[in-house]
Amino acid sequence: MTASASRKTDTRQALIDAALAVFLQRGFARATTREIAHTAGVAEGTIYRHFADKYALFHAVFQSLTVGVVDELQRFQERAGKDTVRDNLETLFALVGGIQEQLSSLMASMWADPELAKNIGARARELAPEGFVPPGPVAMVAEYIRAEQELGRIRHDVDATEAAAVVVSAPFAAGMERALSSHPVASGEFPVPDDFPIPAAGALDILARGLAPLPGKEPSG
């Protein structure tokens, strides 16, 4: 990569990082390209040398957050038989909970702005290979659970998809709760519950025990 191309890549990433910070703080509608550029330490016009508009920048931010996590989840079944099931569940909790904490605010902007949601959906379809439907996190985690069942490390009478839904929903809820807690509301507004359970070590233990093979009841071979 030439020095010029490297600088261009660095500037683009700096804009994505700055946009994420501003979108998380202000939401899409209130975020301005001027503030994003100021946060990135560049002139406002620099944004348009890398992105067509604020919608394109939002899509790039969304992609930057999700691509790495999706790649890890798609390969997660390769962890079957490695470490302990509980250790692997803990890694899943960190992956899903961490990404959901950041995505919650971005998704709230999309829910509040139908035009933004429509635009992002159109961009995703445009960039995806024809006919490609990306698997959801539940489907990817279910593949890991099936692989562990084949190895006898997760009980065979558990439905892999239903178990994956439980495994994903716990850190998903925790990530949502952390996102809510990071945006305190003013007095008199709708309160954020302060007693919402955050799945942690206890939840991991419950899941690990529930998925563990039943002594003397697992099929041989």
Per-residue pLDDT reduced to its tens digit, 64-98 = 888 888 889 889 999 999 999 999 999 988 888 88
Q: How far is CA 57 from CA 61, 64, 102, 114, 144, in A?
A: 6, 10, 16, 17, 33
The pLDDT of residue 162 is 93
pLDDT at 188 over 90: no
Q: How far is CA 86 from the centre of its chain?
A: 20
The CATH class for the domain spanning 1-51 reads mainly alpha
Query: Does residue 29 surpass a pLDDT of 70?
Result: yes
Percent of the chain with pLDDT over 90: 42
pLDDT category, 196, cuts 50, 70, 90?
very low
For residue range 30-70, what is the model confidence (pLDDT) as tens digits? 999 999 999 999 999 999 999 999 999 999 998 888 888 88
Instruction: Please give the model's pTM, rounded to 2 decimal places.
Output: 0.75
Q: Number of C-alpha atoms within 13 angstroms, CB side, residue 8? A: 9
Candidates 101, 173, 204, 92; CA nearest to 137 is 92
pLDDT beyond 90 at 16: yes
pLDDT tens digit string along 132-176?
566 788 999 999 999 999 999 999 999 999 999 988 888 887 777
DSSP letter for each residue of the chain? --HHHHHHHHHHHHHHHHHHHHHHHHHHHH--HHHHHHHHTS-HHHHTTT-SSHHHHHHHHHHHHHHHHHHHHHTGGGGTTSS-HHHHHHHHHHHHHHHHHHHHHHHHHHHH-HHHHHHHHHHHHHHSPTT--PPPHHHHHHHHHHHHHHTTSS-TTS-HHHHHHHHHHHHHHHHHHHHHHTSPPPTTSPPPPS------HHHHHHHHHHHSPPTTTSPP-
Q: Band of the pLDDT at 199, cuts 50, 70, 90? A: low
The CATH number that domain 55-211 falls under is: 1.10.357
Q: How far apart are CA 217 and CA 221, in angstroms?
A: 12
pLDDT for 79 equals 95
Residue that wins the pLDDT comparison between 161 and 109:
161
Domain layout of the chain by residue ranges? 1-51, 55-211
